Amino acid sequence: MVYEQKFSIPEGVSIEKGEDSSITISGEKGRIDRAFIHPHANINIASDVVTVKTDSKRNKDRAVVGTWISHISNMSKGVKDGFVYKLKIVYTHFPVTVSVSGSNVEIKNFLGGRGIMSADIIGNTKVEVKKDDVVVSGISKEDVGQTAANIERACKVKGKDRRVFQDGIYLVDKE
């Protein structure tokens, strides 16, 4: 019994399979490489369709098929359109200063503190600060999401009532 799922390749996106189970997806925004290795799952690329299948009856092996199709779908969307996450800087009394320096986002004067909070920028993700908005963009959904989560986690209020101390940087929109 074969379990398979298919994904049709959109226009403007090219998918190539390497010898070492890696997939390269190219589009107008860039290129993403990723290795897909599992002993019971296979990827086949036809002219305009990617097929992921398994011969196993185990649910865990069948779940890999759906996961890989989702990864390939996200990668092709990323190289075609890209991903944009918008975050909002919220403060009540002490104005928070956010700046980008190299591969880090620095948050100063959070809750009036003297320390500098730092969040890592993952991969080729771009971070822009516009007044009270932070825009995180890139072609890899995982990298953009993890960068936004790092920024949000750097401003987590600890040891105080969250209903009163609502300062922080929060995710507002995903595109």
Q: What does the alpha-carbon distance between residue 122 and residue 143 come to, in Å, rounded to a whole number? A: 5
| Beta carbons within 10 angstroms of residue 97's beta carbon | 14
Whether the Cβ atoms of residue 32 and residue 83 lie closer than 8 Å to each other? no
Pick from 132, 1, 116: which is nearest to 58 by CA?
1
* 167 and 97 fall within a common domain: yes
44, 61, 80: which is the final residue of a domain?
Answer: 80
CATH number at residue 99: 3.90.930.12
Instruction: Please identify, among 30, 49, 80, the residue that sits at the C-terminal boundary of a domain.
Output: 80
Indicate the pTM of the whole model. Answer: 0.89
3-state secondary structure of 136: strand
pLDDT in tens, the chain (175 residues): 789 999 999 999 999 998 888 999 999 999 999 999 999 999 999 889 999 999 999 999 999 999 999 999 999 999 999 999 999 999 988 899 999 999 999 999 988 888 899 999 999 999 999 999 999 999 999 999 999 999 999 998 888 888 888 889 999 999 8
Within the chain, where are the H helices? 59-80, 141-154
* Of the residues 80, 108, 133, the one at which a domain ends: 80
Q: Please tell me whether residues 20 and 65 are part of one structural domain.
A: yes
My answer on whether 155 and 105 are in the same domain is yes
Q: What residue numbers bound the domain in which 169 lies?
A: 83-174
Report residue 37 as tokens: 């290795």
Residue 26 sits in the same domain as residue 91 = no
Same domain for 130 and 61, yes or no, is: no
